[in-house]
Amino acid sequence: MKLSQRGEYALRALLVMGMNHGPGVIRIKDIAQQQNIPRRFLEQILNDLKSAGFVQSKRGVAGGYRLQRGPDEISLADIIRHLEGPLAPVGCVSVNYYQRCSCPDEGKCAIRSVMQEVRDAIVGVLEGVSVAHLCNRVRDLQGPLENPLDYVI
């Protein structure tokens, strides 16, 4: 699994929304400025996250984005799977994006068996971390601040 720039931006944006989770929305512009993400590019990304059901949007003057589900209901595994495709290093051990490889018998392929372990290791970490967990880590790492927007992500 390799996290692209796009993927990193997405995580950062979701984390900002997680830290400010509530009934209100946050503008793209603010996220972009705070996180130093090209605005146009971020638009594209959030749009994608929207059609995938991770966030919802409100148009018009007081518009913006917010998480669709609660921060504790979104795992990093889900997010990254959507953004980057398979978490597994090779298609033939991917559960969600399985692709048969050329070896004659997958059950007897030693390379595959190692890659299986790698996949399980990656998934093990990423399934266990939600956006809410991430937010907690931010707070743990940075101590409590007055303004939630001051959290560095």
Partner DNA sequence: CAATACTTGACTCAAACAGTCGGGATTCTA
Partner DNA sequence: TAGAATCCCGACTGTTTGAGTCAAGTATTG
What is the binding site for a copy of itself (CB under 8 A)? 1-3, 8, 11-12, 15, 36, 76, 89-90, 101-105, 107-111, 113-115, 117-118, 121-122, 124-126, 129, 134-135, 137-138, 141-142, 152-153
For residue 41, the partner it binds in a copy of itself, DNA, none, with Cβ less than 5 to 8 A by kind, is DNA
The site partner of 147 among a copy of itself, DNA, none (C-beta below 5 to 8 Å per kind) is none
d(CA 89, CA 7): 17
- φ/ψ region of 53 (left if φ > 0, alpha if ψ in -120 to 50, else beta) reads left
Other residues' Cβ atoms within 10 Å of the Cβ of residue 142: 12
Minimum distance, C-beta of residue 94 to DNA, in the bound complex (Å): 14
Q: Nearer to DNA by C-beta: 17 or 130?
A: 17
Supply the minimum distance, in Å, between the C-beta of residue 4 and DNA. 3
Tokens 């059609």 belong to residue: 51
Return d(Cα 123, Cα 53) in angstroms, integer. Answer: 21
Instruction: Write out the two tokens for 32.
Output: 């972009």
